Amino acid sequence: MPDQRITPTFVQAGKMPPMGRPVDLGMPTVRGDRSDVLAEPAFDALRPPSPDLLDDCVHCGFCLTTCPTYQLWGEEMDSPRGRIDLMKAGVEGSPLTQSMVDHWDACLGCMACVTACPSGVQYDRLLEATRAQVERRADRPAHDRALRTLIFNLFPYPKRLRVLRAPLRLAQRTGALRMVERTGLVKKVSPQLDVMQSLAPRLGPRVSVPERTPAVGPRRAVVGMLTGCVQREFFGDVNAATVRVLAAEGCDVIAPVRQGCCGALSVHTGREDEGMSFARRLIDTFEETGVEHIVVNSAGCGSSMKDYVHLLADDPDYADRARAFSERVRDLSEILTELGPVATRHPVTAGGRQVVVAYHDACHLRHAQKVVSQPRKLLSGIPGVSLKEIPDAEICCGSAGVYNILNPEPATELGDRKAANILSTGAELLVTANPGCLMQINQALERAGRPIPFVHTAVVLDASLRGEPLV
């Protein structure tokens, strides 16, 4: 499939991009009486975007080639620097408008711009501060509020997901879910709900992990493990593989039963107070275990947990504890690389032969956590693995937490582009480190009519250590 990215003329010609166009402020959308809104600034005094951080942006345009929405639409206000211009307008007293909200909502928060920026602009800090303001102050349509209420009363709560799991599995096994999809009825009622049902992975029996798993052989470390929410209920096999790999490499693994959501989905969508509450509870839980590190196998969760130091910086009871917690968080690939391998690796086979593997970078691992070489090193350390790089690896697949549910059309286009790039590698096995990417890309590969096995890094390592076929 040819690359259909929108490449602006000034980029094609190798010229510096223009400095931007006047900011379109649109119509006011702040809650309250319209006569009062016109004089009310977009942002309140509770942690608005920092003017100092906003001033770091020099509008050089290096972010444009890695920004998914700019690549889709070529619109200045849907680029990082354009969104920063809108933030500046808000900080300087302009009212919050629907146009502003739409452009900020359209951002995936993938942080590819942070990696690309030569000026060190902390767009991640700016976006989270802005979205927290929007969630407090914007007047969203009733259907949007209802959808967000559904998402955030379900996804961060494993016990609620577990209740949903049984009927969903039954609907998959009987073919009822496929029949409903074919009618197109749900899509007509709500494209967002249609995406929610179609993203669900094929469910087998529920797999859980013990609260404590001893190291195999001499103990090298004692680590805690985040079991997650969606990860725990829909990808329990990944958690089980993670525990086995850590134990094989000499780790005692503690997975507290009472742990809850890390708050990543809440924080990344502006539900700041909710995210803080989840973060405090998780800190309390793991402090009680006395572990040396907290290992995470979900990129978005790990990114958020490493960021507790900023999230709770103004909380006198948790600021220091959050800093200590964040310093102990490690992605699975990080801790395994730090420890170094001791367990024997065996060749990984699929269908009786060794496989060509492509590794997909989850955005919150590559851009937010800067973990790039470690997973590649682990995969390359498996005998017989031939590792392929995916073209345009820095561009998001469109999952981005709950972005693909809230914004299904651009997410689908990004997913299809990612699938085309993956298929161009000729890989027979696809590997990543994030459940959202697994669901999003699996669906895109199915749309392309060329599904290939797609598994978590932990599953590949586990198969290698146990000397068992992967698929």
pLDDT at site 26: 63
CATH number listed for the domain at residues 349-466: 3.40.50.1860
pLDDT at site 174: 86
pLDDT at site 170: 86
pLDDT at site 168: 87
Condensed to tens digits (0 to 9), the pLDDT of residues 399-408 reads: 999 999 999 9
Least confident of 67-71, 186-190, 250-254, 324-328: 186-190
For the domain made up of 9-140, the CATH class stated in words is mainly alpha
pLDDT at site 173: 86
The domain over range 212-339 is classified in CATH as 1.10.443.10: no
Q: Please report, rounded to a whole number, the percentage of residues in the chain having pLDDT higher than 90.
A: 77
Condensed to tens digits (0 to 9), the pLDDT of residues 391-430 reads: 999 999 999 999 999 999 999 999 999 999 999 999 999 9
pLDDT at site 6: 33
**pLDDT, greater one: 192 or 61:** 61
Q: Which residues of the chain form CATH 1.10.1060?
A: 9-140
Extract the tokens encoding 169.
Answer: 């599995």
Does position 471 have pLDDT exceeding 90, yes or no?
A: no
Does position 33 have pLDDT exceeding 70, yes or no?
A: no
Q: Which residues of the chain form CATH 3.40.50.1860?
A: 212-339, 349-466
Mean pLDDT of 44-50: 94
pLDDT at site 179: 79
Residue 105 CB-half CA count within 13 A: 17
